[in-house]
Structure 1
């Protein structure tokens, strides 16, 4: 295997592991589940077991998309700017879990999700400008963020004083 191909494998693995690692850290910090379980839940909420499965898929797809931006993009506007935008939205993504589950700030978490949604759209556009296929990896993510925003909205409506 050539050195370039070997380097690409490591970059690909980092691109996939980093978003997942941030998600795993955030979920591992959430120890006290009693507050959440005591909330009034929307009738349409997905089962709890589905969230780690979906997030692992989303983070993996995000990582693959970012790898392809790194691989196909060149220079500031076609590689580094899209990846910088991606990193910002990823950090915003990781901070939603503590806002909602640890600090129990349902309304702040909702506003945070709206900001995240906007950042994901900007990331999709930036990835699209590099190569269309790079953006396609983020389409399931924007759909899931939309569902999460609706779910967070329902939690706020059902638990306005929580």
Structure 2
């Protein structure tokens, strides 16, 4: 029986990407849709989501070990970590949008695959899927509003 600590550390490492690659002046200067969430919402929502993500991964590991659900969990955490680097670090909104597609698909796959293993773990990913959906729409909108500039 493995403790939750490895999952917490993996999630912390992924979350660190957002701390390293911050929005900054470049992002502040971009045109954004009127429905963009306020700045304070991002760290609040992500903190809650990261707790849920760590628990969900650990729960599936405890009940099924290496499994297709855990593979989907691993893919989503890698895609999650890559997004801030692509969007804010590289300033490649197009590549970040592709990354969000991979993230969305892997989160959805985790929900489907984990459902029979741990319904609670799957349910914990539903708010994550909703937030990633909104983030994808925001990424797309910012890309469209700032094309060519």
User: Residue 91 of structure 1 is aligned with which of 73, 78, 92?
Assistant: 78
* Deviant stretches of 4+, over 6 Å: none
Q: Which runs of 5+ in 2 are unaligned?
A: none
1:17: how far off? 3.8
- What is aligned with 2:93? 106
Matched, 1:135 2:122: yes
8 Å contact from structure 1 (residues 20, 60) kept in 2:
no
Aligned residues: 149
Query: Which is further off, 26-35 or 110-119?
Result: 26-35
CA contact (8 A) 1:20 1:56 kept: no
1:14 matches 2:1 = no
Following superposition of structure 1 onto structure 2, how do residues 39-50 of structure 1 map, counting pairs within 5 Å? 39-50=30-41
User: TM-score, with normalisation over the residues of structure 1?
Assistant: 0.84
Name 1:64's counterpart in structure 2: 55
Distance in 2 between the 1:15 and 1:103 partners?
27
Task: Give the deviation of 1:146 after TM superposition.
Answer: 0.4
- Write the distance in 2 (CA, Å) between the matches of 1:32 and 1:126: 34
Residue aligning to 2:109:
122
Alpha-carbon deviation of 1:21?
Answer: 3.0
Aligned match of 1:4: none
Q: Does the CA contact (< 8 Å) of 2:22 and 2:84 recur in 1? A: no
Residues 44 and 32 from structure 1, CA distance in 2 versus in 1: closer, same or farther, beyond 3 angstroms? Answer: closer
Q: Secondary structure at the match of 2:67?
A: helix
Unpaired stretches in structure 1, ≥5 consecutive residues:
1-6
Would the aligned equivalents of 1:26 and 1:94 in 2 still touch at CA under 8 Å? yes
Q: Say yes or no: does 1:159 pair with 2:146.
A: yes
CA distance in structure 1 between the partners assigned to 2:52 and 2:60 by the alignment: 12
Q: Deviations over 1:1-58 (max 9, x none)?
A: xxxxxx65xx2233234213321x2123225711111101211111112111111111
Q: Specify the structure having the higher radius of gyration (Cα).
A: 1
